[in-house]
Amino acid sequence: MPLVDVTHAPTVPESTLRELGSVLPHLVSLAVECPEEPYDGDLRPGDVELRFRPLGPLDRSGLAVVVEVKSKWFASRAADRQERVDTLHANIRAATGLTDFGVYLSLPVAAWSQGD
């Protein structure tokens, strides 16, 4: 279950953020799909958590949007993480038209539990 934080400049239009929010669950799921956590294309509540946050007055960023993806570490994910994040970046660009953005993929050792 990936956690996705999107930090954005105040100049990014809300329509762009809404489009990003609509495509990210699927694109992130494709990017982190692995044998241990396969993606069947049917997202359910809790499968991908998105959080949007505008840059604050003390934040420093050279990009209009930064997408930070955190997903549980598996050897199969870690082996090709750069390819995964490069593909995710390209897919976000193709789906939204964004150009001034970055994607950070973090694969921490973690666990997740969710109620029914």
| pTM given for the model | 0.92
Question: Which domains occur in the chain, in start order?
Answer: 3-106 (3.30.429.10)
CA distance 45 to 19: 19
Write out pLDDT tens, residues 50-91.
999 999 999 999 999 999 999 999 999 999 999 999 999 999
Residue 24 CA to residue 62 CA, distance in Å, equals 22
Residues 6 or more apart whose CB falls under 8 angstroms from that of 64 comprise 8, 9, 11, 12, 98, 100, 101
Q: Are strands 49-54 and 3-8 parallel, antiparallel or unpaired?
A: parallel
First to last CA, the chain: 15
pLDDT tens digits, one per residue of 13-58:
999 999 999 999 999 999 999 999 999 999 998 899 999 999 999 9
Q: What DSSP state is assigned to residue 60?
A: -
